[in-house]
Amino acid sequence: MKVSFFITCLGDMFYVNAGKAAVELLERLGCEVDFPRAQTCCGQPAYNSGYRKETIEVAKHLIETFEHAEYVVGISGSCVYMIHEYTQLFEEGSDWQKRAIALKDKTYELTQFIVDVIGVDDVGASYQGVATYHTSCHMTRLLGVKEAPFRLLQNVKGLELVDLPNRHDCCGFGGTFSIKMSDISEQMVDEKVAHIEGTKAHLLLGADGSCLMNIGGRLSRNGSPVEVKHIAEILNSRGDV
């Protein structure tokens, strides 16, 4: 299977290890991975702020960039969902809408791709430790990927996965919300961090860099010992257990 990898703008700059792990993992699972270098951002900051015209231009760029791909796999549920939303941006039945639909139909979030397309639940990973998992809102509610990350994590040798109380609550990121409504966002991330610290996990996992940046930023400010990693890093881990 040929996979065109979608790193996302945050991933490109901040979560390089997650990207490396995802590529190695996909290759280990038999995929041939390419990286279209023209890719930029999915456009979500503009879209969620109500800047539709600007979003359309960014969307066209990404549609063109990935047009050749057999599959597009991204490491953020939220950004992948944004690509799926492109279909709503263009006029009904227009050429651009058709191209957006074609892109939507072949674009997957990493864990979703592994479980639903490759058809693998056990990627042969091993990692010694206790972790909890943050279910990100857009990935679960909008993209509808609920089970895949858990199915994969349950099969990681040595990993003890503990429940995160109130896991369906938003972490308070919300893109520009975290800046525009930072006082409310702070309360939300504080509550999330309290729940995380209330578990015995020493590792927080997630499939969305933006949420992890938010929660991780608060954990770091608190001087918390809890480490933060993208799920790809654990799924690609082959440590001794």
Partner 1 sequence: MPMHIGEKDFKKRVTKGIEDDFMRGAVRSAQGRLQDKRATAADELGDWEDWRTLGSEIRSHTIEHLDYYLNQLSEKVAELGGHVFFAETGEEANEYIQKIAKEKEAKKIAKSKSMVTEEISMNEALEEIGCEVIETDLGEYILQIDDHDPPSHIVAPALHKNKEQIRDVFNEKLGYLKTEKPEELALFAREKLREEFLSADLGITGCNFAVAESGSFALVTNEGNARMVSALPKTQITVMGMERIVPGWEELDVVVSLLTRAAVGQKLTSYITALTGPKQLEEADGPEEFHLVIVDNGRSKILGTEFQEALHCIRCAACINVCPVYRHVGGHAYGSIYPGPIGAVLSPLLSDYDEYKELPYASSLCGACTEVCPVKIPLHEQLIMHRRKMVEDEKRTTLSERVAMRGFEQLMNSASLYRTATKMAPFMSTPFARKQMITKGPGPLKHWTHARDFPKPENERFRDWFKNREKRGEQDAKR
The residues binding partner 1 (CB under 8 A) are 5, 7, 9, 11-16, 19-20, 23, 35, 37-41, 43, 45-54, 57-58, 60-61, 65, 137-138, 141-142, 168-170, 172-175, 177-191, 213-214, 216-218, 220-221
120-125: long-range pairs with CB below 8 Å, 24+: 120/29, 121/151, 121/152, 121/155, 122/152, 122/155, 123/25, 123/28, 123/29, 123/152, 123/155, 123/156, 123/235, 123/236, 124/28, 124/238, 125/155, 125/156, 125/157, 125/234, 125/235, 125/236, 125/237, 125/238
Cβ at position 87, least distance to partner 1 in Å: 14
Closer to partner 1 by CB, 38 or 119: give it.
38
Pick the closest to residue 115 from 70, 148, 71, 74 (CA basis). 148
The answer to whether the CB of 36 falls within 8 A of the CB of 3 is no
Cβ at position 110, least distance to partner 1 in Å: 14
Closer to partner 1 by CB, 141 or 151: give it.
141
Closer to partner 1 by CB, 91 or 179: give it.
179
Cβ at position 158, least distance to partner 1 in Å: 27
Cβ at position 122, least distance to partner 1 in Å: 26
Distance between CA atoms of residues 218 and 124, nearest Å: 32
Pick the closest to residue 197 from 156, 170, 232, 162 (CA basis). 162
Cβ at position 17, least distance to partner 1 in Å: 8
Closer to partner 1 by CB, 17 or 199: give it.
17
Closer to partner 1 by CB, 4 or 237: give it.
4
Distance between CA atoms of residues 108 and 95, nearest Å: 22
DSSP letter (8 states) at residue 49: T
Cα separation values, 182 from 214, 226, 236, Å: 11, 23, 34
Closer to partner 1 by CB, 106 or 141: give it.
141
Question: Per the structure block, which two tokens stand in for 133?
Answer: 């998992």
Cβ at position 223, least distance to partner 1 in Å: 10
Cβ at position 135, least distance to partner 1 in Å: 11
Closer to partner 1 by CB, 152 or 215: give it.
215
Distance between CA atoms of residues 169 and 156, nearest Å: 25
